[in-house]
Amino acid sequence: MRETRWVALLLLLAISAAGAAGRKEKDGEKVCDKGWECSGSRFCCNETISDYFKADQFEELFANRNDAQLAHAADFWDYQSFISAAALFEPRGFGTTGGKEMGMKEVAAFLGHVGAKTSCGYSEAPGGETAWGLCYNHEMSPSQSYCDDSNELYPCVAGVEYYGRGALPVYGNHNYAIVGRGINQDLLHHPESLEQNATLAFEAAIWRWMTPMKRKQPSAHDVFVGNWKPTKNDTLSQRYPGFGATMNVLYGDLICGQGYIDDMNVIISHYQHYLDLMGVGREHSGDNLDCAEQVAFNPSSKSPESLSKLHCGDQQWTETQTRETGLEEGMELASVPYLASSSSSSFSSGYSRFACRCRRASKTVVATSATGRSGATDSACSETFEQQNLDVHSGPKSSWCFRRRDLASAILLPFVLPPINISRAAEPYDGLIIQNGVRKFLTKGKAAGVLRLVFHDAGTFDIGDKSGGMNGSIIYEVNRPENAGLNRSIKLLGKAKEEIDSVQKVSWADLIAVAGAEAVALCGGPEIPVRLGRLDSSTADPAGKLPEETLDAAALKTSFSKKGFSTQEMVVLSGAHTIGGKGFGSPIIFDNTYFKVLLEKPQPSSSGMAGMVGLRTDWALAEDDECLSWIKIYAEDQAKFFDDFRDTYIKLVNSGASWRTA
């Protein structure tokens, strides 16, 4: 009997010692052996994410993120950035709730959303569509700057664009401001931080995962780990804890309540794929995996009756909720668009906006949309609904209310189909479909011809009478002498257009602009964001608008100035001759060799060509002092050439364009 007592005592001491190894005392308070203070956290001595999720697992989940051919954020995302960001939220339970298996499942769930939103994979891609997460870190080909000028709380900063960036993309000046305050960063002034710093990008995404969208609603974290108990209204709306509800929190009825749509299924597929790779197994995905029949927490449309019942004062936050979420009183989350990517441009998206403002009960609500329409309704603000956008309300109760309806009607298609995630305007216009259609037919050998097509379509612009420009009229002008050979490029893009049009209609002007950007990037040049929404001309542009190949530098300057381009812009655009058969280095490599060769000044041949390299206009640039100064700069600094070419290309493909209004 005595021996039994001694054995029990020894076991107790052993258990106590083991516990002490994981916990220490500091001023009477427990701390983890890694120094994680326990104050205010019941998770302090649980296993942290780095204990069970290792670098090799991260590499396996995102094995293709640095692919030289397809990845547009190569060498950006890494394991340590994720771990550093996650560590900030572990005291709140991120990855530390409910034991090791639940922690691993939550990491897989969160990364499943991230992988789906940043994927450049598609069903026929090597490894399938789930093998290409973290391919992007910003929206490709943004269709607008996402500046909401009506937002008086967080007005746009001059010169700053608020297109989608990050792991769970953030859109719009209002959202950048609120997410920035949540992670103590000035994202309103510096939204680019989310595509320059991977740790901040992950931190912003985890903050959104951990933060409820509205008062008395759960966060994605809460519905996944079981912190949330559905109300009767929730059960009647088919909302139950599980992975499906995370999609409801983050995307609302953009994904949920629409049956088993591909947009939803692809997110689930990423989650289950990651569970398999992490050794948990998809059989442990949990109950309520989808949200096919769930009613959205925050529906994107409301009846007039329900709208009239939602008043400004209904959305005040309590002090407790403010502390728990990290939001100030009055802050609420709405949903944001999705990162949309391209093969080599930038995430292409548009969004329709519906703003609701009301000052005190006596004021009317003014609604504005992307089409410029406005109207007045009762003095009530509609509920926020898009899950990744944030609305802030400050001041006394009922004194100020500002909300956005349909703020970026984002569709998951971008990251559901091939490489991107794109938001849509009043009419869906998916840049991903255009870019993938181009990539199917474009090769490096055909890149120069496609890029020439851009110059000959946009190059007819005349700033004086506003004629010509990027309007697709080149398809009516192929028989002109200056356009000899372009019929091959038009036929190539015609094949792409036929396939794209079977899914959504695309204008020739948009198609050519995107194809040119794709051609540059395919050959190793800069990624160029292309705004979408150009309208096509139904007639040919006036003849004789393109610069002739026999012009000297002075005449070239005059010609380009009539199109609104400076000498520097003329020189940088001429650098496009670095690809193709003009003899400036490799015909399929876009670099600054063009300028280096011009500085060598080879002797002209008897035909007037400089050593059979380039055109007469190319060498005319080297004979002009002003042009020569820019040639020297670009010959020495390829990065500057890439930056300036990108900016000037954007200006070129927007020259003379007419735009869709909806």
Q: How confident is the model at residue 128 (pLDDT cuts 50, 70, 90)?
A: confident
Q: How confident is the model at residue 187 (pLDDT cuts 50, 70, 90)?
A: very high
When the pLDDT of each residue in the chain is averaged and rounded to a whole number, the result is 76
Q: How confident is the model at residue 486 (pLDDT cuts 50, 70, 90)?
A: very high
Which is more confidently placed, 242 or 383? 242
Q: How confident is the model at residue 129 (pLDDT cuts 50, 70, 90)?
A: confident
- Tell me: pLDDT of 399 over 60: no
What are 131-148's pLDDT values in tens digits? 999 999 998 878 788 899
- Tell me: pLDDT of 21 over 80: no
- CATH number reported for the structural domain that contains residue 603 in this entry: 1.10.420.10
Which of 297, 317, 337 marks a domain boundary? 297
For residue 188, the one-letter residue type is: L
What letters, b where the CB count within 10 A reaches 16 and e where it falls short, cover 93-127?
A: bbbbbbeeebbbbbbbbbbbbbbbbbbbbeeebee
Note whether residue 441 is domain-resident. no
Note whether residue 302 is domain-resident. no
**How is residue 439 written in tokens?**
């990539």
Average pLDDT over residues 409-418: 27
Average pLDDT over residues 252-281: 93
Range with lowest mean pLDDT among 293-307, 402-416, 536-550, 645-659:
402-416
Three-state secondary-structure class, residue 314: helix
pLDDT, residue 143, reads 76
**How is residue 73 written in tokens?**
């954020």
- Tell me: pLDDT of 192 over 80: yes
**Whose structure tokens read 């009419």?**
427
Which is more confidently placed, 562 or 393? 562
What are 46-88's pLDDT values in tens digits? 788 999 999 999 999 999 999 887 888 999 999 999 999 998 8
Helices 486-501 and 508-522, axial angle in degrees (round to 10): 110
pLDDT, residue 215, reads 78
Which of 274, 297, 320 marks a domain boundary? 297
pLDDT, residue 91, reads 84
Helices 625-636 and 593-600, axial angle in degrees (round to 10): 130
Q: How confident is the model at residue 601 (pLDDT cuts 50, 70, 90)?
A: low
Note whether residue 611 is domain-resident. yes
- Tell me: pLDDT of 371 over 60: no
Burial bucket for residue 184 (CB in 10 Å: 0-12, 13-18, 19+): exposed
pLDDT, residue 123, reads 66
pLDDT, residue 320, reads 29
DSSP letters spanning 579-626: SSSSSSS-TT--SSHHHHHHHH-PPB-TTSSBTTBS-HHHHHHHTSHH
Note whether residue 592 is domain-resident. yes
Which is more confidently placed, 404 or 103? 103
Whole domain around residue 557: which residue ranges? 553-643
Q: How far apart are CA 499 and CA 501, in angstroms?
A: 5
Q: How confident is the model at residue 581 (pLDDT cuts 50, 70, 90)?
A: confident
Note whether residue 381 is domain-resident. no
Average pLDDT over residues 423-446: 74
- CATH number reported for the structural domain that contains residue 49 in this entry: 1.10.530.10
Give percent of the chain with pLDDT exceeding 70. 71
Average pLDDT over residues 286-306: 75
Which is more confidently placed, 419 or 201? 201
Considering 115-124, 164-173, 326-335, 381-390, the range whose residues carry the highest mean pLDDT is 164-173
Query: So which residues are the catalytic ones?
Result: 456
Which of 236, 264, 297 marks a domain boundary? 297
pLDDT, residue 602, reads 55
pLDDT, residue 48, reads 87
Long-range contacts of 215-218 (CB under 8 A, 24+ apart): 215/315, 215/316, 215/317, 215/318, 215/321, 215/332, 217/249, 217/297, 217/298, 218/245, 218/249
Average pLDDT over residues 268-290: 95
Average pLDDT over residues 553-570: 92
Q: How confident is the model at residue 198 (pLDDT cuts 50, 70, 90)?
A: very high
Give percent of the chain with pLDDT exceeding 90. 53
Note whether residue 620 is domain-resident. yes
Q: Count how many domains the chain has.
A: 2
What are 604-658's pLDDT values in tens digits? 443 343 344 678 888 889 899 999 999 999 999 999 999 999 999 999 999 999 9
Q: Which of 509, 661, 555 is nearest to 144 (CA)?
A: 661
pLDDT, residue 330, reads 30
- Tell me: pLDDT of 103 over 90: yes
pLDDT, residue 582, reads 76
pLDDT, residue 315, reads 24
Average pLDDT over residues 332-358: 31
Which is more confidently placed, 275 or 659? 275
- Tell me: pLDDT of 24 over 70: no
Which is more confidently placed, 306 or 244? 244
Q: What is the 3-state composition of the chain as percent helix, strand, coil, each rounded to the nearest 5?
A: 45, 10, 50
Note whether residue 355 is domain-resident. no
Note whether residue 434 is domain-resident. no
What are 207-251's pLDDT values in tens digits? 999 999 787 899 999 999 999 999 999 999 999 999 999 999 999
Task: Answer whether 207's CB lies under 8 Å from 326's CB.
Answer: yes
- Tell me: pLDDT of 318 over 70: no
